[in-house]
C-alpha cells in the first residue's frame, strides 16, 4: 500500500491551488475596487450637493442686478442675464445679511423724511451694523469711513432697471466706475447720509446694503501664482480642477478678487469649495440662476467617476 503522494500528484494539486488562489485574489480585488468606487461615488455626490447648496445660500443673499460672468483672460464681463458667451467666473454683490437677520436695519426708507442727502430708514442702527460687519470680516475701525459697506437702491422690480448708466460703470466691476453703489454713513437713529459726490439719479423705497463681492471659479481660470492661492497648498495636479470661493473684496473701492489675472488691486480671501470639479457653468433663465457642476474622479483599476449637479436659485 502507498503511504505518500507521487511527485506528479503533488504538482497537479499545487497547480489547482494556484489557479484557485489567483481567481480568488482577482475576485476579492474587484470586490474591493467596486466597494471603494461606491464609497467615492457617494462621497463625491454628497460633496457636490453640499457645494451647490452652499452657493445657493450665498446667492440668495445677492443684489439681483449685480451678478456677472467674468473672463480673467481679457477682463471682459457681462450681466448674467445678457451673456453673449460663456464666462468662467461667476461674481455678485452679497448683502449684509447677518445684520439684516439680526434686524439691525430694515432695508426700507421713509421717503417722506428726505432732507438734503439724508434719508431715514426705519428700525435701523448704524452702530450695530458696524459691529456686525467688523466681526464678519475681521475688520477694525469704522466701516463707513473705510467704505467697507455700500448702499444700492433696489430699482424697478429689484432688478436695478432705474439706472441710467452703462452697466460697465454701474457697480465698479473690474475697473469700471461705481455710479450706482453709494458710499454712506448710517447713524444710530437710522439716518442714512449719502456721501458720494455723484448723487443717486433715482430714490427707491427699498435698498440693499452690501459688504462684499463674491466670486466662484475653477483653478484653471485664475492666477495660480497669486499668494492667496499658494497659501492653500493645493498640489499642481489638483489645482486646475479645484473650485474656489472668493470673498471680502469690494469693487466699489476698485478692488478685485485676490487671484484675478487683470489689474493691480487684488484683495480679499479665498477658500476651497471642492476638488475634482472639471466644469462649472451658470446662466440666468426667467430671472432664476442655474448653477451646474461637473465632477470627474479617476479610480485606479476602475472606470472614472462622473457626476453632474444642477441647482436653481430664485
Q: Give per-residue pLDDT as tens, 201-242.
A: 888 899 999 999 999 999 999 999 999 999 999 999 999 999
pLDDT band at 181 (very low <50, low <70, confident <90, very high): very high
Longest dimension (CA), the chain: 121
pLDDT at 4: 64
C-alpha cell at 81: 442675464
C-alpha cell at 47: 460633496
pLDDT band at 161 (very low <50, low <70, confident <90, very high): low
Q: In this predicted model, what pLDDT tens digit does every residue of 34-58 receive, in sequence order?
A: 777 788 889 999 999 999 999 999 9
Q: In this predicted model, what pLDDT tens digit does every residue of 5-27 receive, in sequence order?
A: 677 777 877 888 787 777 777 77
Q: Which residue has the higher pLDDT, 115 or 149?
A: 149
Please indicate, yes or no, whether the overall pTM of this predicted structure exceeds 0.75. Answer: yes
Rounded mean pLDDT, 117-132: 92
Q: Which residue has the higher pLDDT, 305 or 256?
A: 256
Rounded mean pLDDT, 284-301: 90
Query: Beta-strand (E) ranges in the chain?
Result: 68-71, 76-79, 89-95, 109-115, 118-121, 150-153, 182-186, 191-194, 207-218, 243-249, 256-257, 266-267, 269-274, 277-285, 288-297, 305-313
pLDDT at 267: 97
pLDDT at 131 over 90: yes
Q: Which residue has the higher pLDDT, 118 or 224?
A: 224
Question: What is the distance between the alpha carbons of residues 198 and 178, in angstroms, rounded to a whole number?
Answer: 10
pLDDT at 261 over 80: yes
Share of the chain above pLDDT 70, in %: 96
Query: 207-218 and 243-249 as β-strands: parallel, antiparallel, unpaired?
Result: antiparallel
Q: Which residue has the higher pLDDT, 177 or 160?
A: 177
Rounded mean pLDDT, 262-288: 95
- Give the count of beta carbons closer than 10 Å to the beta carbon of residue 225: 9
Q: What is the mean pLDDT of the chain?
A: 90
Going by the DSSP 8-state scheme, the letter that residue 303 receives in this structure is P
pLDDT at 1 over 60: no
pLDDT at 2: 58
pLDDT at 76 over 90: yes
Q: Which residue has the higher pLDDT, 187 or 7?
A: 187
pLDDT band at 141 (very low <50, low <70, confident <90, very high): confident
Contact at 8 Å (CB) between 134 and 205? no
Amino acid at each position: 500500500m502507498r503511504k505518500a503522494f507521487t511527485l506528479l500528484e503533488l504538482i497537479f494539486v499545487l497547480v489547482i491551488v494556484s489557479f484557485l488562489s489567483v481567481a480568488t485574489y482577482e475576485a476579492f480585488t474587484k470586490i474591493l475596487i467596486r466597494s471603494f468606487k461606491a464609497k467615492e461615488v457617494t462621497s463625491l455626490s454628497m460633496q457636490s450637493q453640499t457645494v451647490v447648496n452652499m452657493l445657493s445660500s450665498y446667492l440668495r443673499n445677492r443684489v439681483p442686478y449685480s451678478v456677472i460672468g467674468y473672463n480673467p483672460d481679457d477682463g471682459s464681463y457681462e450681466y448674467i442675464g445678457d451673456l453673449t458667451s460663456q464666462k468662467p467666473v461667476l461674481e455678485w454683490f452679497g448683502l449684509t445679511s447677518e445684520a439684516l437677520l439680526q434686524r439691525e436695519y430694515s432695508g426700507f426708507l421713509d421717503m417722506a423724511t428726505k432732507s438734503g442727502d439724508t434719508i431715514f430708514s426705519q428700525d435701523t442702527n448704524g452702530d450695530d451694523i458696524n459691529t456686525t460687519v467688523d466681526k464678519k470680516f475681521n475688520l477694525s475701525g469704522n466701516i463707513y469711513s473705510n467704505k467697507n459697506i455700500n448702499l444700492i437702491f433696489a430699482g424697478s422690480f429689484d432688478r436695478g432697471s432705474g439706472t441710467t448708466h452703462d452697466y460697465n460703470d454701474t457697480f465698479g466691476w473690474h475697473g469700471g466706475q461705481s455710479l450706482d453703489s453709494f458710499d454712506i454713513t448710517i447713524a444710530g437713529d437710522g439716518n442714512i447720509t449719502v456721501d458720494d459726490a455723484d448723487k443717486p439719479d433715482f430714490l427707491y423705497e427699498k435698498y440693499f446694503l452690501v459688504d462684499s463681492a463674491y466670486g466662484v471659479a475653477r483653478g484653471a481660470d485664475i492666477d495660480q501664482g497669486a499668494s492667496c492661492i499658494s497659501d492653500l497648498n493645493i498640489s499642481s495636479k489638483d489645482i486646475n480642477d479645484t473650485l474656489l470661493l472668493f470673498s471680502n473684496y469690494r469693487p466699489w473701492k476698485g478692488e478685485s478678487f485676490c487671484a484675478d489675472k487683470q489689474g493691480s488691486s487684488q484683495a480679499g480671501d479665498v477658500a476651497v469649495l471642492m476638488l475634482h470639479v472639471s466644469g462649472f457653468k451658470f446662466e440666468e433663465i426667467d430671472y432664476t440662476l442655474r448653477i451646474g457642476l461637473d465632477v470627474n474622479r479617476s479610480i485606479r483599476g476602475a472606470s472614472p467617476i462622473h457626476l453632474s449637479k444642477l441647482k436653481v436659485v430664485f
